[in-house]
Chain A
Amino acid sequence: MGEAQELFDRILLAQRRNNVAASAGDHAFLLERVALDFADRLAGIKRTFPVGLNLGAFNGVLSRHLRSCERIGMLVDVELSVEMARQCDGPCVVADEEFLPFSDGTLDLVLSGLSLQLVNDLPGVLIQIFRSLKADGLLLASMLGGETLKELRHAWLIAEDEIYGGASPRVAPFANLRDVGSLLQRAGFALPVVDLDRVQVTYSSPLALMQELKGMGASNILNARLKKPVTRALLQRVCEVYHQCYGLDDGRVSATFDIVNMTAWVPHSSQQQPLKPGTAHARLADALGVKEMPAGEKARR
């Protein structure tokens, strides 16, 4: 029985990131946004985190923003690409998110900015994160999800279908909000909160968007990708379709990035718990100012 092929080529991802590491800072605007958002969210949490991880550290931009936070002690950058890791300025480990080198119950905080959308086994990674955290430890992560790059996906699909009579996978599939919430619960996390931050970015042309993605080291790493070069005619048609469908009045084009934010805790007795059914001290009917009915009976209109 053959092994099912993995979705992403993670070795290729490391190579792509190595190649763009030198200028990674020029293409980190989404991560900077995530960093500011994380700083905001952590500001509202009144506790300290002596040991934290930043999973998928990219060039360390997220940690640079968050190391100034007094409540975080040691923040360790974990990055797949060696060249990216060399750009990080704090304690740093080269590791794959799918093979975390941390023992059980040692961490107080796991941060992750825009990297979990590229793992093959998200449920497995969440379980590994859960185990490496202490009781009452916090996971604060964002990943690209939802309708991210829907315009580019659509343009490639139309153009390839017209020219080749069929489409190949160009833009990775992304998880939706609801799936992420249930995966967090399945991994064992308590109090999971998932929200979406939609960022609309405009570019001078579809090519400029593709250049930016390349600069992020985010070019296609799908194992099922078409491994032959893109012809000039195909690329031209992609740009035409993109302009036609998603062009703006000023000649620029728009691209969607959906950032899925997740906050979840390892269960601890100090966290709020639901009461047992039947232990309420006040009636719901009193609070609503209505007459109480036995269960199953229809309210009269």
Chain B
Amino acid sequence: MSNRERVTAVSEKNSPQGVTQQSDESIVDPKLLELLVCPLTKTRLIYNAQTKELISKAAGVAFPIRKGIPLMTPDAARQLDGDEK
């Protein structure tokens, strides 16, 4: 499976000021994010710092991060809207 790639963090240049200041418990270890791929397609995830979600374009879903813990189960995933894809 050569299409398996790693997570890339999206830079936060578009986020309004103040949003980057996260409370301690909501910070995810960047080393952990690097390890993760989409559990359904095993393809790369894009980290959206504003919505605190890991987006899988291939599966068309977003996995939420709650209190610093990525929720990577199929039933925790949110279906992406048409314009998010």
The interface of chain A, by Cβ under 8 A from chain B, is 11, 14, 51, 74, 76, 80, 82, 85-86, 91-96, 99-104, 106-107, 131
Docked-complex contact B31 and A102, CB < 8 angstroms: no
Q: Most chain-B CB neighbours within 10 Å: which of A80, A93, A106, A131?
A: A93
Cβ-defined partner of A103 (8 Å) among B32, B37, B69: B37
Docked-complex contact A94 and B35, CB < 8 angstroms: no
Docked-complex contact A95 and B72, CB < 8 angstroms: yes
* A131 CB, nearest partner CB in chain B, Å: 8
Tell me the bound Cα distance from A229 to B7 in angstroms.
47
With A86-B69, A95-B73, A101-B38 known, 13 other A-B pairs at CB within 8 A are: A14-B73, A74-B29, A82-B69, A93-B72, A95-B39, A96-B39, A99-B72, A101-B63, A101-B70, A102-B37, A103-B35, A103-B37, A106-B6
Q: Most chain-A CB neighbours within 10 Å: which of B29, B72, B75?
A: B72
Q: Does B58 contact A (CB under 8 A)?
A: no
* B45 CB, nearest partner CB in chain A, Å: 8
Residues in chain B near residue A85, CB distance under 8 A: 69
* A48 CB, nearest partner CB in chain B, Å: 16
Q: A80-B73, A93-B36, A99-B74 are in contact. Are A74 and B42 (CB under 8 A)?
A: no
Docked-complex contact A93 and B74, CB < 8 angstroms: no
Q: Mark B16-50, 1 if CB is under 8 A from A, else 0.
A: 00000000000001011001111110100000000
Docked-complex contact A76 and B71, CB < 8 angstroms: no
Select from chain B the residue with minimum beta-carbon distance to A78.
B72
Docked-complex contact A11 and B75, CB < 8 angstroms: yes
* B75 CB, nearest partner CB in chain A, Å: 7
Cβ-defined partner of A104 (8 Å) among B32, B42, B66: B42
* A107 CB, nearest partner CB in chain B, Å: 8
Residues in chain A near residue B40, CB distance under 8 A: 99
Select from chain B the residue with minimum beta-carbon distance to A88.
B69
CB-based closest 4 A-B pairs:
A99-B39, A101-B39, A95-B72, A101-B72
Docked-complex contact A91 and B29, CB < 8 angstroms: yes
Secondary structure type dominating chain A contacts: mixed
Q: List 23 A-B contacts (CB under 8 A).
A: A51-B35, A74-B31, A80-B73, A82-B71, A91-B31, A93-B70, A94-B71, A94-B72, A95-B72, A95-B73, A96-B73, A99-B72, A99-B73, A99-B74, A100-B39, A101-B36, A101-B37, A102-B35, A102-B36, A102-B37, A103-B4, A103-B5, A104-B42
Contact count A vs B, C-beta below 8 Å? 65
Q: Most chain-B CB neighbours within 10 Å: which of A74, A94, A101?
A: A101
Docked-complex contact A94 and B42, CB < 8 angstroms: no
Q: Does B80 contact A (CB under 8 A)?
A: no
* B39 CB, nearest partner CB in chain A, Å: 4
Residues in chain B near residue A82, CB distance under 8 A: 66, 69, 71
Docked-complex contact B32 and A91, CB < 8 angstroms: yes
Q: Does B10 contact A (CB under 8 A)?
A: no
* A235 CB, nearest partner CB in chain B, Å: 33
* B52 CB, nearest partner CB in chain A, Å: 14
Docked-complex contact B70 and A94, CB < 8 angstroms: yes
Docked-complex contact A94 and B73, CB < 8 angstroms: yes
Residues in chain B near residue A11, CB distance under 8 A: 75
Residues in chain B near residue A93, CB distance under 8 A: 32, 36, 69-70, 72
Q: Does B67 contact A (CB under 8 A)?
A: yes
